[in-house]
């Protein structure tokens, strides 16, 4: 979860770090986290997440037994975690095969390019297109990310 929070609106390179525990995060000062490329806001988010885990208010391991909607409800209750973070967690941690992260700019921009969509298409319009990919919207998203990254290389 920490890696996903760090990946929000920052490069993947700055999000990479070693194994981290909730207890370990709580022992670090704000200055130590800043030295690890945590912004002031991300520091607050990560410490809040760590506190919830340590206090037993959030059981990350137990999330795998919940529906996507239940996972979303529990994770969005954590300060700093929104739908994009939940979507990525569902896809990469819980290995859910049917997630389309409509808030992911890379996936959305690739979809707009591939389908020659209007730049101002609504989220509902995007979700309607993604409905056709059920139950493998995660796979479609990964293909869109691949297209996005290949375009970026050019």
Catalytic residue among 30, 59, 68, 104: 104
Q: What are phi and psi of 65, to 5 degrees?
A: -95, 0
- What is the rounded end-to-end Cα distance, in angstroms, of the chain? 32
- The answer to whether 98 is a known catalytic residue is no
Instruction: Give the Cα-Cα-Cα angle 5, 39, 29 (nearest 5 degrees).
Output: 100
Q: What is the DSSP letter of 18?
A: -
| Cβ proximity of 78 and 89 under 8 Å | no
Q: Residue 70 and residue 68: Cα distance in Å, rounded?
A: 5
Active centre residues (catalytic): 104
């Amino acid at each position: 979860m920490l890696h996903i929070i760090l990946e929000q609106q920052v490069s993947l390179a700055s999000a990479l770090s070693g194994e981290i525990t909730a207890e370990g995060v709580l022992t670090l000062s704000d200055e130590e986290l800043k030295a690890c490329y945590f912004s002031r806001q991300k520091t607050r988010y990560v410490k809040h997440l760590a506190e919830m885990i340590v206090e037993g208010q959030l059981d990350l391991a137990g999330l795998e037994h919940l529906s996507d909607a239940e996972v979303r409800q529990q994770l969005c209750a954590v300060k700093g975690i929104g739908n994009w973070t939940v979507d990525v967690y569902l896809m990469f941690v819980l290995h859910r095969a049917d997630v389309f992260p409509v808030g992911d700019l890379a996936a959305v921009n690739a979809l707009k390019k591939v389908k020659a969509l209007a730049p101002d298409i609504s989220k509902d319009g995007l979700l309607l297109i993604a409905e056709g990919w059920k139950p493998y919207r995660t796979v479609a998203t990964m293909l869109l990310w691949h297209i996005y990254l290949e375009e970026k290389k050019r």
